[in-house]
Structure 1
Amino acid sequence: MPPFGLLGAGLITLAVATAVLAPVVAPTTPTRLDLRARLSPPAWVVGAKPGHLLGTDNVGRDVLSRVIYGSRISLSVGAAAAVLGMLIGSTMGLLAGYFGQWVDAVISWLINVQLAFPFTLLAIFLLGTVGGGFGAVVVVLALATWVNYARIVRGEVLAIRSRDYVLAARAVGVPTGRTLLRYILPNVAGPIVVVASFSTAQAILTQAALSFLGVGIDPSVPSWGAMLNEGRAYLQSAWWIAVFPGLAIALTVLGANLLGDWLRDWLDPRSVA
């Protein structure tokens, strides 16, 4: 594995391990209030309170604990949205590429409409109408990512469907569903995995943006986007409230993108310049 791929895998492993081990590694619960330590700076800054390595927020909650627990929401929402988007987009791409004609025309039209529409506005409207919550955010983010899978899978299937083993399977009467699942899907699995890594990064960023705007996940649940929103009013007086969750988002997304680049090169050596 090249250095950048190793770095990406390390960042993602660290993020996942932090989310899984949050009750063990977090110094305190993320909702515990300590008004006496309100707006305490990080431990290396003059005026810091003991026991708060990354400082506290405007109501005395430990920033490190909130960043650690926030990884659970950000990673779980990103992964769930990527998986749901993968199921929807891969299915649409398989159908469009295999059947062609009007099926391809309809699905391609849906893809173009999705890409032409300002998705953030749609997400805000949907979440503002039906309410937030984990499930609603996952569905909305899946609607943002399914087109990535559909376009890639459609292109791959258009090339694969004319190969000899697919034509032979159709000639001997293999059912369409079996042909798609056994002979075509395994040959597009590599691109799907690569798109999944990038879509996870996209979903994490979008979820953080929605939380920053005040829609989506319940604000009482610690998430990186909500922490950015809370720290917006204290950027000059208490910069640590927003900087550390922002850094967590940046490193996690960087890790997912670096890992995706390595997976793309490993699964398709032709992509290497």
Structure 2
Amino acid sequence: MQPWLWRRPPGDYGERLRDALVHLGPVFVKFGQLISTRKDLFPDEITNPLQALQDRVPPVDGVDAKSALAEIFGQPVEALFAEFDTTPLASASVAQVHAAKLPNGEAVVIKWLRPGIERIVALDVALMKSVSQFLHRRLPKIRRFRLPEVVADYRRTILDELDLRREAANQAQLHRNFADSEDLYIPKVYWDYCHRRAMVSERIYGLGVGDIEKLRAAGVNMQRLAEKGVSVFFTQVFRDNFFHADMHPGNIFVDATHPDNPKYIG
């Protein structure tokens, strides 16, 4: 029996949808992440449970995580890091994140791809391709949506995510673009520890941008924060022509050290 088939209260459909998407795999979890950000289109009963898909997907066990990282780096985790927390900071559809410390004591985060994720994504995308082609052939009314082209474009995007060197390069570019900014800080990348399946970057502490209650409790000037959000986005688009394209709340934090002048962390 699958979790979403168990008998549950009528109002529990958001949680059943979340469980179903997790079971279906990473491509479908990504779809759930998108829905979770669209409170303008979907009710809270749907979006609230799906918010867990942003950074609280069931994680890989800590011992298995160390084994996987040892395989990626070619040596034991203990040989590379002075400390390694087996409990993940976040766990998403494609990767999960662990806190660690370098031998010099610097606090870092390690992002690494889940074991076997490439094969799982390939199977998911192949399924989406077949379904989109079937619908395109059988339902003339939806041909204007060009579903096969949408899936082909998504395939390119998701495959790019499976090479963390690309993400590291993009993060390093954003770090340079906002090096002198008072509105946004992008953690630096430690290139000596970056591979196709893992990347290491500076650990920065902040409050989740979607955790409104904690932001208000910290005295954050919400109007100023909103103004800075608009400024950061337009600066990326119009000044740099290089922007963060995955800005769901699981990826954006707020430095509330100076509540009247908050700063985003990307």
More strand by share: 2
Provide TM-score, normalisation by structure 2. Answer: 0.29
Quick check: which one's helix share is greater?
Answer: 1
Question: Scaled by the length of structure 1, what TM-score is found?
Answer: 0.28
Q: Which has the higher contact order (CA 8 A, sep 6+)?
A: 1
